[in-house]
A = this chain, B = another copy of it.
């Protein structure tokens, strides 16, 4: 967190959120209706609405004449073009952006390329330029911007910490540029949260998500909450050991799943077999073209992932397993071996209902998840305005 608001600012934020939350729940309302539903005084409410109108968060319009006597009342409505929450994913080679309006709908997304060698400061500059470009093109106002969620690669220890206390430099830069607080989390975990909020695991509160791409990452949702871990390291599925006597991995462990089934490992296996695929995109294309050697390698890799997931399923008992990332999107080619291995190894006699499905969301999943993080985790948003927890 940066710039903690003082008590008076906080109170005004609570009042604002109360008004915006009421409009989100009900649609346009007259001032009298808002007074009744929020319990705010007329004086307080009129001041808040004047400020929200000035900042572009809400608009006013006359209601249609109803046939009743007297002037129709003025209705207050959410402004669809007002950005309230920004989600960013600073991925290895690309910055992804999603913007949610005051109705908490994702109204814009965008991406910008970034060098793999770019440092945090360069990535933050790219993100700032991307935000400015997208809101300019779409006519989105930032007068009601409330927070930024930021997805980062690797271990993210603290989802929100005060400025100057070792926060990520990209988070610092964004907080300074836009004058709002910034919450950060690991981007594979955020993709899991996005799938459970808008995607393939919507309304599923116990979820195991796997991002199968160049590497293998994961994100777990338990009882509707993202599992972060004691040190921000939860979800490192790719570093579960398949073979405790295997070769040493860059993580220091041995026989890690990622080294036997990650996209990079598959590319190396293709090269060793003389199969010409230049990169992950070509590998995925070859799999879609059902090139036999490629399909065999991917099927074997999916079986290994299934073997590790069987252990995860036994321990966490999720309702659904979601395969994301470029390789997770390959449909039955990868889903079937994963399902088969889980069915064979994870308490086959228990007959629990478990789905294994591909992810719904695309490359912007983590940026959207950063918005979901703000909706779910932000302690400044009062409880009664948060989305209801997903039913099991």
Contacts and interface: CB of A to CB of B under 8 A. Distances in A.
Contacts of A204: 230
A240 B310 CA distance: 7
Contacts of A234: 315-317
Interface residues of A, number: 52
Interface stretch (A192-200, A278-286, A340-348): A340-348
Interface stretch (A33-41, A103-111, A221-229): A221-229
Interface stretch (A20-28, A168-176, A246-254): A246-254
A213 interface: no
Interface string A293-331: 000000000000001101110111111000000000000
Contacts of A244: 307, 341, 344-345
B155 A253 contact: no
A218 interface: yes
B236 A315 contact: yes
Nearest to A304: B244
Q: For chain A, what secondary structure do more than half of its interface residues adopt (helix, strand, loop), or is it mixed? A: loop
B345 A314 contact: no
A310 B308 CA distance: 12
Contacts of A346: 239, 253
Given A230-B318, A234-B316, A241 B350 contact: no
A155 B350 CA distance: 9
A312 to B, nearest CB: 6
Contacts of A206: 229-230
A230 B347 contact: no
Contact of A237 (B223, B230, B252, B314): B314
A344 B254 contact: yes
Contact of A310 (B237, B241, B341): B241
A205 B236 CA distance: 19
18 contacts: A206-B230, A222-B225, A222-B227, A223-B225, A229-B318, A230-B392, A233-B352, A234-B315, A236-B317, A237-B314, A240-B310, A240-B311, A240-B314, A244-B307, A244-B341, A251-B350, A253-B347, A253-B348
Given A231-B352, A317-B230, A317-B231, A236 B347 contact: yes
Contact of A345 (B205, B254, B353): B254
A186 to B, nearest CB: 11
Q: A227, A318, A392 — which one has the most chain B CB atoms within 10 A of its CB?
A: A227
A262 interface: no
Contacts of A315: 218, 220, 234-237, 240, 312
Contacts of A227: 222-223, 316
A143 interface: no
